[in-house]
Structure 1
């Protein structure tokens, strides 16, 4: 081999080495770019995953609240299922009580009155099994949640703000007031 050929071979080898070095440098810099892009993509992915998890947790909490609310509404509906029927029956019960205050002077009126008392007591018993309670009024302190004051009087020997007379009975279904007592209150 001549010297020229050897020189050409060396130059070619050097050129190839330089090209290889440049290629390696380009690959290293592109790897750094890719790594930077990967880090950015990973950061975006983590943010999206965190946001999705937060949305899921909020949705789950909303569903749990909804489920509890529906359950409470169902329990209340079951607890007070007889309220509308009882409210409709109360005027008839009041009429029974008014009829029972009539004096019976003869036997026929007495037997009719006794039959009405039996019907009244069985009606009251049926309502009590559903949870109906009579609100005690006379002699009790006035409570605006339980009593409706329609008159006010000034009587001696009776404490102030005490119910003196009851005009219409009040009723409560379990813990809910269906109808407050209409009362006369001492000043």
Structure 2
């Protein structure tokens, strides 16, 4: 006995719709565009209005500007005064330092002058030429005199000229008047002690003898 073959009956299933992609909407592009056109535009905040210049505001600005200019001028004048004060202070300090240095130099030189006087007196008593102990001593005293003179020159000390010049009471001190008609009245005839100056300052005047006309010559000149 033969079994009949079963017939295959086709069964149709409905097609599944594709799953929506992430971020996609169910509407199409046209619907999205329509909604975008229908949406209201975002509100733009109004810009603040610039303040209008008023006469009162301009007056206040002018007053403030004038006040600032006055403060500037006052500070400038103060700066000028400070600079002038500093310059005067600097000059005063330099002058005081110079005066102090000159006083110190004057004391040193004043202490050296008696030594120089002693050396010159020793030279005057020694022979100028020849041989012997006196001439050898003279050479030693001359070296000492030269060294002392170099020290005085370094301190700007100068010897006061005297012999043959008219008597000057500012730098000469007369201890004797010698009557003579060989020299004009008031001429310095002899220097007993040398005088010295430190720059323009007299450290010690020259002690001198001064020429004086005899009485007969004086009467003749008067006649």
In which range does the TM-score fall when normalised by the shorter chain?
0.5 to 0.7
TM-score, length-scaled by structure 2 = 0.55
Gaps of 5+ in 2: 1-50, 213-223
Matches within 5 A, 1:66-81: 66-71=89-94
2:190 & 2:205 partners in 1: Cα distance? 14
Q: Which runs of 5+ in 1 are unaligned?
A: 1-26
Match of 2:62 in 1: 39
Cα 1:153–1:59 shift into 2, 3 Å: farther
User: What is the match of residue 139 of structure 1?
Assistant: 164
How far apart are the structure 2 equivalents of 1:38 and 1:152? Answer: 89
Q: Which has the higher helix share?
A: 1
Alpha-carbon distance change, 129 to 47 in structure 1, aligned in 2, over 3 angstroms: closer
In structure 2, relative to structure 1, the CA distance for the partners of 1:174 and 1:80 (3 Å cut) is farther
Work out the CA distance in 1 between the residues paired with 2:73 and 2:186: 62
Q: TM-score, normalised by structure 1?
A: 0.63
Find 1:180's aligned residue among 205, 208, 211: 205
Q: How does 1:111-122 map to 2 (within 5 A)?
A: 111-122=136-147
RMSD of aligned residue pairs (Cα, Å): 3.6
Tell me which of the two structures has the higher relative contact order, counting C-alpha pairs closer than 8 angstroms and 6 or more residues apart: 1
**Runs ≥4 in structure 1, deviation > 6 angstroms?**
75-81
Equivalent residue pairs, number: 159
Matches of residues 7-26 of structure 1 in structure 2 within 5 Å? none
Kindly report which structure 2 residues correspond to 1:145-184, keeping only aligned pairs within 5 A, or say none: 145-184=170-209
The higher radius of gyration belongs to: 2
